[in-house]
């Protein structure tokens, strides 16, 4: 966990999703995950636009993809699903928290990955699920 003296990452921070939210809304843990059929113990976010784009594009919904600028309201930690497990260190600057994230803005314009890239990623994730390897440490 981080504290005020030892900030893990100064941000800015993003959250990619398909949920329609308003400025001032809070994203909180214990809501249905964007990626699995269960409630999540954490709320996930990133300091890179690239990772936020994937978050929005891969979220399970047919709704519009959205990227929000968020402010963590408490301590957060490196996301173990994307750090030591897959990418040593934290090149995606991906984090998770049990404390809420406050929506401070929505990115109105951003460039999506190509349909080919998204479909390839979805197929890869489907294959991992079928092999029992799509486990999210939550």
Tens digits of residue pLDDT in 66-85:
999 999 999 999 888 766 66
43, exposed or middle or buried, with CB in 10 Å at 0-12, 13-18, 19+?
buried
Q: Is there a domain that residue 102 lies in?
A: yes
Buried b (16+ CB within 10 A) or exposed e, 58-78: bbeeeeebbbbbbebeeebeb
Assign residue 11 a region (left: φ > 0; alpha: ψ between -120 and 50; beta: otherwise): left
pTM to 2 decimal places = 0.81
CATH number at residue 38: 3.20.170.40
Q: Is there a domain that residue 1 lies in?
A: no
Tens digits of residue pLDDT in 4-59:
446 689 899 999 999 999 999 999 987 655 555 657 789 999 999 999 999 899 88
Q: Is there a domain that residue 55 lies in?
A: yes
Domain, as residue range, for 93? 13-130
In sequence order, the 6+-apart residues with CB closer than 8 A to the CB of 105 are 23, 68, 69
Assign residue 73 a region (left: φ > 0; alpha: ψ between -120 and 50; beta: otherwise): alpha
Q: Is there a domain that residue 22 lies in?
A: yes
């Amino acid at each position: 966990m981080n504290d005020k003296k030892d900030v893990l990452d100064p941000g800015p921070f993003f959250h990619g999703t398909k949920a329609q939210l308003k400025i001032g809304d809070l994203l909180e843990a214990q809501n249905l995950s964007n990626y699995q059929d269960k409630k999540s113990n954490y709320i996930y976010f990133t300091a890179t636009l690239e990772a936020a784009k994937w978050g929005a594009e891969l979220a399970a919904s047919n709704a519009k993809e959205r990227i929000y600028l968020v402010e963590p309201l408490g301590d957060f930690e490196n996301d173990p699903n994307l750090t030591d497990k897959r990418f040593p260190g934290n090149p995606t600057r991906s984090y998770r928290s049990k404390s809420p994230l406050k929506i401070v803005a929505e990115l109105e314009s951003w460039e999506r990955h190509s349909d080919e890239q998204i479909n390839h990623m979805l197929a890869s994730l489907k294959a991992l699920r079928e092999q029992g390897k799509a486990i999210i440490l939550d």
